Amino acid sequence: MIEIENVTVRFGGVVALNDVSAVFTTPVGGIIGPNGAGKTTLMNVVSGFLTSNSGRILVDGADILSVAPFRRAQRGLRRSFQREQIADDLSVRDNIQVQLDPLPGPASAKRAEVERMLAVTGLTDQAGRRGAELTGFERRLTDVARCLVGKPRLIMFDEPAGGLSVDETARLGELILGIHALTGAQTLVIDHDVELISRVCNEMLVLDFGRRIAFGPTADVLADHNVKAAYLGTEEVLA
């Protein structure tokens, strides 16, 4: 369960997040809204790149904001960015291994887990290739695989479908749907691909200008007229 309580973030005079609250209980939650609404800002607060001016965020009851940012991964936090952050020099396998290095446990168990997630994402054949040699989709899959290892609790995807074809987006969607069964983790997804989001997410938070304008089960949120006015768009019928 992810509890976001009254999170506010200010940059000087700009209020990027304005008293945002939401409780995510389903396996996959979505965060949508126009550009500049504060979606990435919210994820950055969870990751620890930004400090909130007020508010709390609890992941499975534990206060994540009180933990040093690099230690949040050990508590089960995973993050994938708008641009996939894959080290060009490392092999796919090593790129995934990075996530496991700080965690306790025998090396053989870690190797086995990397192999398992390579298989899940379909990257086993690419495992030895360097990051620089991968296609954009393979890089995204490596990113996803990295998020799956090491007992994740909360995985955050920031626009994972950016730059992917329809087929690739569909495959990514399948992967995201399988995360909870595979690892027990909750997932939060930011994306502008409404089809992907509505297929994959059970509940959604909608932000606009830093405020929450809707939160709830996907179908309800997508039908909400505030959401349509701010983001999804309404139909204008010319008489």
Partner 1 sequence: MNAALFRITPTGWAGLAFAAFAFIVLPSVAGSFWLSVLTSAACFAMAASGVGFMYARLGMVSLTQVGLMGIGGWVALRLNYAFAFPFEVNLVVASIVTMAFGWLLALPALRLRGLYLALVTLMAAGGLEILFATFKFPNGGDGFWGVKLGSLEPFRGPALATTPEAYLRYVVACVTLGFLFIEAHLRLAPGRAWAMIRRSEAAAMAAGVNVTLYKTWAFGIAGLLAGAAGCLLAGSLGLLDSGTFRSPESIMIFALAVVGGARSWLGPIIASVLYRVVPAFLASWGVNTNLAYMIFGAGLLHALITAPNGIAGQIHEAAGMAARKLGWRP
Partner 2 sequence: MINWFAYLAAMAAIMLWLSWGKPFAISGIFIASGLAVGSLYALGGIGMVVLYRATGVLNFSSGAAGAAGAMIAWQVAKWGAWPPVAWASCILTAVILTVGYGRLVAPLLAWRDTVVKAVATLGFALIILGLVSFLWKDDPRSLVLPTDEIGARFLGLRVTVTRLIAFGACLGITLGIWLFLGRTETGLKMRAVANDRDLSALLGVPILKVETVAWLIAGLLAGFTGLMFANLIRLEPVVLTFMVIPSVAAALTGRLNNTALVLVGGLSMGVIESMLTLSPELKGVRPIAPFVIAALVLLYNQRAARLVFAERG
Q: Which residues bind partner 2 (CB under 8 A)?
A: 48-49, 69
For partner 2, the closer CB: 34 or 69: 69
Three-state DSSP state, 165:
coil
For partner 2, the closer CB: 69 or 163: 69
For partner 1, the closer CB: 68 or 239: 68
For partner 1, the closer CB: 34 or 136: 136
Find the shortest distance in angstroms from Cβ 159 to partner 2. 19
Q: Looking at the DSSP assignment, which residues form a beta bridge with residue 154?
A: 77, 186
- Map 84-103 to HEC letters: CCCCCCCEHHHHHHHHHCCC
Return the residue matching tokens 């990435």.
40
Q: From the list partner 2, partner 1, none, pick the one residue 5 interacts with, judged by a Cβ distance below 5 to 8 Å according to partner type.
A: none
Tell me which residues touch partner 1 (CB under 8 A). 47-49, 69-71, 73-74, 77-79, 81, 85-90, 94-95, 97-99, 101-103, 107, 111, 146
Please state whether beta strands 2-11 and 14-24 pair in parallel, antiparallel, or not at all (unpaired). antiparallel
Find the shortest distance in angstroms from Cβ 103 to partner 1. 7
Distance CA 112, CA 124 (A): 12
Per the structure block, which two tokens stand in for 202?
Answer: 């059970």
